[in-house]
Amino acid sequence: MLLNLHNEQQGLRTIEYQSAIKPGSRDYRMALQILGQAYFNLEMWHTAAGRFSQLIGLSPSDPEAYTSRGGSYLALKQYADAIKDLDQAVLLGPLDSKNFAARGQGYAEIGKFDLARADFSEAILLTPDSSDAYASRGYLSVQSGNYSSAFSDIDRAIEISPINHDAYFMNTPLG
């Protein structure tokens, strides 16, 4: 594990140098995924999205690449691009609750609450112990004034994960 930002950036440069040796190889694609995730973790979302775009160019049928780039676009507040990538990830399969939850977040950010609610519900169907999906769906219910549904979802989120701080916040009068 890298110990500080300087070491992480040096490690990234080393991986980039090594990955440039055999463009298009399986190792190169793996290096792009690792680099993209590392840049994402460093909150360098533009750079992360660029690495995931390179990966998609080499592996256009890889749903994880679309999921990862979609997450970068969400972080960049490029919601239409995020939704487009997450649509592709869902189409390519396998069904994954994180794609529905992330796409739901994108829909919620652009005000398409019915689509967001449907995606959070699908995430819950796929992963019934997803505290975050329950909390997100509960938050949407608060926004629409459906408090009984909101409290039900938020209580379930807390039951699943007692350390879900978002759910606790939404379960207060200030939420």
Summary mean pLDDT of the chain: 86
Give a yes or no: residue 101 inside a domain: no
Same-domain check for residues 21 and 83: yes
Distance CA 155, CA 152 (A): 5
CATH number of the domain that residue 66 is part of: 1.25.40.10
Compute, in degrees rounded to 10, the torsion defined by CA atoms 84, 86, 88, 92.
Answer: 180
* Furthest-apart CA atoms within the chain: distance in Å: 58
- Total tally of structural domains belonging to the chain: 2
Q: Digits of tens for pLDDT over the chain (175 positions)?
A: 343 445 556 665 665 555 555 666 778 888 889 999 999 999 999 999 999 999 999 999 999 999 999 999 999 999 999 999 999 999 998 999 999 999 999 999 999 999 999 999 999 999 999 999 999 999 999 988 889 999 999 999 999 988 765 654 554 443 4
Domain limits at 69?
1-94
Q: Which helix (H) or strand (E) holds 62?
A: none
Same-domain check for residues 85 and 21: yes
